[in-house]
Amino acid sequence: MPKKVFVRTFGCQMNEYDSDKMADVLNASEGYEPTDRPEDADLILFNTCSVREKAQEKVFHDLGRVRHLKMANPNLLIGVGGCVASQEGEAIVRRAPYVDLVFGPQTLHRLPELLSARRLSGKSQVDISFPEIEKFDHLPTPKAAGPAAFVSIMEGCSKYCSFCVVPYTRGEEVSRPLPDVLGEIAALALGGVREVTLLGQNVNAYRDSTSAGNCDFTDLLDHVADIPGIERIRYTTSHPRDFTHRLLEAHSRIEKLAAHVHLPMQSGSDRILAAMKRGYTALEYKSIIRRLRAARPDISIGTDIIVGFPGETDADFESTMDIADEVGFDTSYSFIYSPRPGTPAAGLKDETPHPQKLERLYRLQEKLDALESGIGERMVGTLQQVLVEGLSAKDPGELAGKSSHNRTVNFPGDASIIGRFTDVRITQARRHSLRGELTPVASAVTA
Ligand code: SAH
Ligand code: F3S
């Protein structure tokens, strides 16, 4: 019987990606098969996040819940990876001695070595170093698992926003070499992938180190657009500070670029943006959006917003509310500021009472939800090009895919069209998805 690994993922898309890579590397080295039942697993991995909330406590709480499995099965191994591991290191083993492996986002490719060192020594292993980008040289070649794939193009972040822990847990920005990225996408395209999402904390800071700094993110997009089989390109996340004129222009020139950009704004107040060290003003943010819309009139914009940053006044918050209306954000995420140990903002005086922050968050989320629903309603009756990714999670009798605007669309249809683009007429807007029907032409093609 093959050994089984259970991976529990917290946090961002980078973590989802890393979890897939953990499963790949363990499968290639030791034949581990994934399982979604921790009680069946020979190895349990937690891929943790420390960007918000009391992540450490959550990890220890969840670890406590699998501890009994180890009592029942002494051969069971438990590992903690991701950003909490990176931040806490040895402290995890001190507090939870039954943890066998601790590894960071940049050392997950060393899992096989860590496992054998654990077996040989009988001791817990900790490796949270930042060995540059070596990770990608040691991961198995990815296989296509459906028509849409994520491809990591860079790791880490060097922006050091004053509230954010990512530069400390994932390290500074390091780009993958261009030939590696293009090779990986070409291989995925041969395996049936039609849409790629270029992934990184700050993708538009991409710089290919193999071509003497000549290839930036816009050049990368051009190269990806040239790969046969790739019909749609997304990227996440980008930073307003690195949104160059050339990148804006690429959105009108490169047809394969999806009509959607996720561009975190964080706040609409210049005072708060400066305290966050974001490196742009509200006007500059709006100017990027205006020029993006000029380049690609149907583009939808998603964002991230933090409320209750230390020193945020009612007036600051109202500026954020105003910009949300002005821009008309599509799907967005908003959070209450959470002080992160080791970040500069954690030392700032914060006098806003928590209930007031909560009230701001509710008001903002109400607005963001209304904006998102409004956009959904206006899509009813329109024709959307949908990449059919599989059966709908909620109703296996229906198909599910994404529109160019990154909206999930469910519609009745035959499973034979999974993996292809098709035109879907939107018939109904739901809370976080759209319903539609195949057009007569699209139905005829698939009949
Ligand atoms: N570069 C990534 C940022 C990762 S963190 C990106 O741009 O997506 C994702 C989001 O979490 C951030 O955009 C921010 O809105 C939020 N966030 C980060 N640190 C936070 C903190 N200390 N408190 C509250 N929200 C935070
Ligand atoms: Fe964090 Fe700012 Fe980078 S939010 S990931 S430090 S761009």
* Per-residue model confidence as pLDDT tens digits over 212-251: 668 999 999 999 999 999 999 999 999 999 999 999 999 9
Cβ(105)–Cβ(169) below 8 Å:
yes
Distance between Cα 264 and ligand 2 center (Å): 10
Q: Which ligand is nearest to the CA of 345?
A: 1
What residues are in contact with ligand 1 under a 6 Å CB criterion?
12, 51-52, 157, 163-164, 166, 201-202, 237, 264, 266, 304, 306, 335, 337-338, 340
Q: How confident is the model at residue 210, as a pLDDT?
A: 79
Radius of gyration of the chain (CA): 23
Q: What is the pLDDT of residues 421-434, one digit of tens each?
A: 999 999 999 988 99
Cβ(191)–Cβ(184) below 8 Å:
no
The model's pTM: 0.93
Q: Which ligand is nearest to the CA of 312?
A: 1
Cβ(102)–Cβ(125) below 8 Å:
yes
Query: Per mean pLDDT, which range of 93-102, 132-141, 352-361, 387-396 is the poorest?
Result: 132-141
For ligand 2, whether the C-beta of 335 sits within 6 Å is: no
Predicted confidence (pLDDT) at residue 50 exceeds the cutoff of 80:
yes
The C-alpha atoms of residue 284 and residue 297 are separated, in whole angstroms, by: 19
Predicted confidence (pLDDT) at residue 405 exceeds the cutoff of 70:
yes
The C-alpha atoms of residue 361 and residue 321 are separated, in whole angstroms, by: 10
Q: How confident is the model at residue 446, as a pLDDT?
A: 55
Predicted confidence (pLDDT) at residue 34 exceeds the cutoff of 80:
yes
Question: Residue 54, class by beta-carbon neighbours within 10 Å (0-12 exposed, 13-18 middle, 19+ buried)?
Answer: exposed
236: its two tokens: 């996440």
434: its two tokens: 């759209």
Residues 6+ apart with CB under 8 A from 295: 248, 249, 251, 252
Q: What is the pLDDT of residues 252-267, one digit of tens each?
A: 999 999 999 999 999 9
How far is residue 229 CA from its own chain's centroid? 24
The C-alpha atoms of residue 263 and residue 240 are separated, in whole angstroms, by: 7
For ligand 2, whether the C-beta of 160 sits within 6 Å is: yes
Distance between Cα 162 and ligand 2 center (Å): 9
Please name the residue whose Cα sits nearest to atom 14 of ligand 1.
304
pLDDT averaged over every residue in the chain: 94
Find tokens 């093959």 and name the residue. 2
The C-alpha atoms of residue 253 and residue 18 are separated, in whole angstroms, by: 32
Q: How confident is the model at residue 444, as a pLDDT?
A: 65
Q: How confident is the model at residue 145, as a pLDDT?
A: 87
Q: How confident is the model at residue 445, as a pLDDT?
A: 61
